[in-house]
Chain A
């Protein structure tokens, strides 16, 4: 009887230890919050905002003041930043949604750049619309990155 009980307790203890080792592994559904990426998101968002505001306030459509070539270098610099952001997001596991948001931003950036190049000018209205679009997309990206902090914070 004593031996049976000992064996029973030993089995239970083994089961508990095995369970404990499994439970001690944490569930991971999203990539951890990355402060470096968050800072790059903020910097790139500010750069794009400054780009469109400078174009709106500092130039006019008259006399080819908004010719594509005048802004080409800035377009390239910002595209480089967006590419870098995309790569950083893509290489992280469990980060497909953040990478997709970044892909969408890059896709629209290239589209609006191509439109500017095609028409070789940009009206005040379209500058405002592009600026608003990127502000809103970057807000989504910032909210997503900030949201990851919820998972990182230890349970109360």
Chain B
């Protein structure tokens, strides 16, 4: 009896949860810059494209009906950019989830090693 009780008490769920939360925080913090820089680049590129659209409309290269068509294309470009951001965010979520599970895995494995 005295040999099993202290061993089981090593399985402290609060410490494990803290470890899991810290793992998630660390992964998100480390990779957040990636999302930010890509999003900023998308915004800068959009600005440059819209300036070019305005310039071409003024020079007559882009008549009104073509401008409308190009503005429709902008919706598709925005959709593509949002898909790219979604992929990066999912990749970060995947890494964070696996980092948290890794903490739990190590904790349970530690307990099993002790019990066995």
* B-binding residues in A (CB < 8 A): 1-2, 5, 9, 12-13, 16-17, 19-20, 23-24, 26-30, 97-98, 100-101, 104-105, 107-108, 111, 123-126, 128-129, 132-133, 136-137, 139-141, 143-144, 147-151, 153, 155-156
Contact = CB atoms under 8 A, between A and B. Distances in A.
Interface size of B as a range: 35 or more
A19 B101 contact: no
Contacts, number: 145
B59 interface: yes
A141 B84 CA distance: 7
A108 B86 contact: no
B80 A141 contact: yes
Main secondary structure of the interface of A (DSSP, over half): helix
Main secondary structure of the interface of B (DSSP, over half): helix
A2 B1 CA distance: 7
Given A100-B79, A105-B80, A140-B80, A23 B23 contact: no
B94 A27 contact: yes
A140 B56 contact: no
A150 B27 CA distance: 9
B80 A155 contact: no
